[in-house]
Amino acid sequence: MRKGIVVVLLVFSCLTYMSAQRVNSGMVPSGKGYGIPSPNVVEGDPNAVVQGNGINWHGGSIIPNTVNVYYIWYGNWKGGPKPSDSPTTVQLLQTFARGIGATPFFNILTTYGDTTDNVTGNVHFAKQTTMLTYPNGKNLTDASILKIVSNAIGSGALPSDTNGVYFVFTTSDVNETSGFCTSYCGWHTNGTVNGADIKYSFIGNPDRCPTSCEGQSKGPNSDNGADGIANIMSHELSEATTDPDLSAWWQTATGEEVGDLCAWKWGTLLGGTLGNGGYNETFGGKNWFLQMEWENSRKGGCDNFLGGPFHTK
């Protein structure tokens, strides 16, 4: 969260900012849920934004204003090999994107900011497109995901939007060969597309590996693939909003971002039972089972909603 400044000293302001930057060894985020050792971790000015809550600002920008969400449905989402490779899943995740913005859950992120803006908590489901014929095959790489996003923008199917996050959802018969189901369930990063800084994410259908990537054996919407994707998407959208270019918010000691710090931690259920239809969030007329996110206030912790009790599991 950006700190309010009562007195601004213009003289030497640039010099002061530069002197406040520190470069140390530590961990940087991979965007895939784990940190990478680095001898050159930039620490942001500790007096520029609210810190000291178990997560560190590293000088980069958050996504300001409303975050626009774009979907790219890759594979046979009309009737793939798993029941969740279906229009029902597509519809549920449309509802999810339309409903998550400005909820008490997503407003946890309003405790983050940079020197110019704070996260607003607002989300807009902007547009979607489909690639039903597997144009890049069924064994994708990280580079393939960027190509899929680039093609969607270059063809005009989706607009170029630097305030957006583009989600590539793949059906259960598609593998992401850099570690889907073994090292991660989804990831986010950024790349340059036609000169623009584009933020994007990969999420495969977790029905490909339910024991690795689904939080329950039965989800609250009786569509385990959709329920699993919703949880993973909440994680990736939160991180893409607070750390869009992998240069803003993470814990220096671990390289973990806002979602990583609370991954697979559920907090308080609102209904159902854990493992069998349990849910802890309600919005858009549906119930959802979502991991908590790290709140950057009150010394920091994982909670289900802004200002709620912190939980460790």
pLDDT in tens, the chain (313 residues): 443 433 232 233 333 333 345 777 899 999 999 999 998 898 898 889 999 999 999 999 999 999 999 999 999 999 999 999 999 999 999 999 999 999 999 999 999 999 999 999 999 999 999 999 999 999 999 999 999 999 999 999 999 999 999 999 999 999 999 999 999 999 999 999 999 999 999 999 999 999 999 999 999 999 999 999 999 999 999 999 999 999 999 999 999 999 999 999 999 999 999 999 999 999 999 999 999 999 999 999 999 999 999 999 9
Domains and CATH numbers, the chain: 67-303 (3.40.390)
Tokens standing for residue 29: 């985020």
Residue 168: left if φ>0, alpha if ψ -120 to 50, beta else—which one? beta
- Strand partners for 283: 286
Q: Is residue 33 a contact partner of residue 187, using CB atoms and an 8 Å limit? A: yes
At which residue do the structure tokens 């979502």 appear?
290
Angle at 251 between CA 249 and CA 290, to 5 degrees: 75
> Distances in Å between the alpha carbon of 291 and those of 53, 109, 179, 257?
19, 14, 21, 14
